[in-house]
Amino acid sequence: MKVLVATSKPFAKVAVDGIRKVIEGAGYELVLLEKYTEKSALLSAVADVDAIIIRSDIIDAEVFDAAKQLKIVVRAGAGYDNVDLESATAHGVCVMNTPGQNANAVAELVAGLMVYAVRNFYNGTSGIELLGKKLGIHAFGNVGRNVARIAKGFGMEVYAFDAYCPKEVIEAAGVHAVDSVEDMYKTCQFISLHLPATDETKNSIGRNLVGLMPKGAVLVNSARKEIINEEELIQLMQEREDIKFVSDIAPAAAAKFEELFAGRYFATPKKMGAQTAEANINAGIAAANQIVGFIKDGCTKFMVNR
């Protein structure tokens, strides 16, 4: 059995060491393809492997066609919009993610982005504090729950909306569950986005919602750039100079945001939420264990293309 770790954005070394221990401990071979820049490198690396561990790496039909022995792909992380699930199923390949394993890392980055925004990007001028402010969490999954926990530590009043999460679960976390997403945007000066990128959510965050936010609005996106309607957000931010937008992923129109909204916009150069040793270890080793469990025992927990 040959397992490939294909990461254009590599894991911390300590995580790769942990993955190696699990894979070699099971008697399999581990091969690494890190920091690759060309798809051709990925296509040749997958040719003779049985399993692949990836991060945001794109696994499309061409990759599945090239991977003749492939049985399983594990996305070490939460979002699997980078994997063509239909093609995986057509090729008889199991796809899994590792939910929750990097959630705290992303949530801590969200806290950092909020502080950065309200302290005027550390430009030396007087800002505001998070204490007592209202934060709305849009989608209450693993990351959203961690953001809620941390925000409560700041003394923020936390609200959440999640069409798929029972209100009782939200309330059990000490968070106000709102009935309508519009009400949450109307109420909260801070909104943190935690939606996956799906047909339903793509382009769904625009004027319709952000336009409802109170004065001094701060929009934080640590999810996927595709969920934001950038054209509408740009127009809205031109009309409303009080809105700030901080993102852990450069929007498609990054140059425009930079040019128009100096002092009100920041994006990380590369998606950094899950870039911690701890998150790499948690997600990477979970991925390795899931591969061993699948190959040895047929365990399909966390399979996402059923």
Using CB under 6 A, list all residues that contact ligand 3PG.
9, 55-56, 77-79, 102, 271, 273-274
Q: In the complex, what is the shortest distance from the CB of residue 279 to ligand 3PG, in angstroms, rounded to a whole number? A: 8
Residues 6 or more apart in contact with residue 25 via CB below 8 angstroms = none
Q: Which residue of this chain has its Cβ atom nearest to ligand 3PG in the complex?
A: 77
Count CB neighbours of 218 within 10 A.
Answer: 25
Between 9 and 186, CB nearer to ligand 3PG:
9
The distance of closest approach from Cβ of residue 295 to ligand 3PG in the complex, given in angstroms and rounded to an integer, is 23
d(CA 231, CA 225): 12
Closest CA to 260 of 284, 239, 278, 277: 239
CA distances from 52 to 21, 61, 221, 272 (A): 16, 15, 28, 22
Amino acid making up residue 293: G
Q: Which is nearer to ligand 3PG, 77 or 251 (CB)?
A: 77
Give the nearest distance from C-beta 161 to ligand 3PG in angstroms. 20
Q: Which residue, 157 or 162, has its beta carbon nearer to ligand 3PG?
A: 162
> Which residue in this structure is represented by tokens 């003749």?
68
User: Nearest 5°: phi and psi at 264?
Assistant: -130, 0
Angle in degrees, CA 42, 45, 49, rounded to 5: 125
Distance between CA atoms of 241 and 86, rounded to whole angstroms?
Answer: 43
Taking the complex as a whole, how short is the minimal distance between the CB of residue 68 and ligand 3PG, in angstroms? 26
Minimal distance, residue 271 CB to ligand 3PG, in Å:
5
Residue closer to ligand 3PG by CB (options 67, 78) is 78
* Bridge pairing between strands 134-138 and 190-193: parallel
CB 149, min distance to ligand 3PG, A: 18
Nearer to ligand 3PG, 93 or 223 (CB): 223
> What residue type is 106 in one-letter code?
V
Give whichever of 56 and 187 is closer to ligand 3PG, judged by the CB atom: 56
Closest approach of Cβ 131 to ligand 3PG, in Å?
Answer: 28
Question: How far, rounded to the nearest angstrom, does the alpha carbon of residue 42 sit from its chain's CA centroid?
Answer: 22
Quick check: helix, strand or coil at residue 285?
helix
Task: Tell me whether residue 195 or residue 236 sits nearer to ligand 3PG (CB atom).
Answer: 195
CA dist 67 and 257 (Å) reads: 39
Q: Which of 55/264 has CB closer to ligand 3PG?
A: 55
Residue 300, helix vs strand vs coil: coil
Rounded to a whole number of angstroms, the minimum distance from the CB of residue 10 to ligand 3PG is 10
Residue 95 host element (H or E): strand 94-97
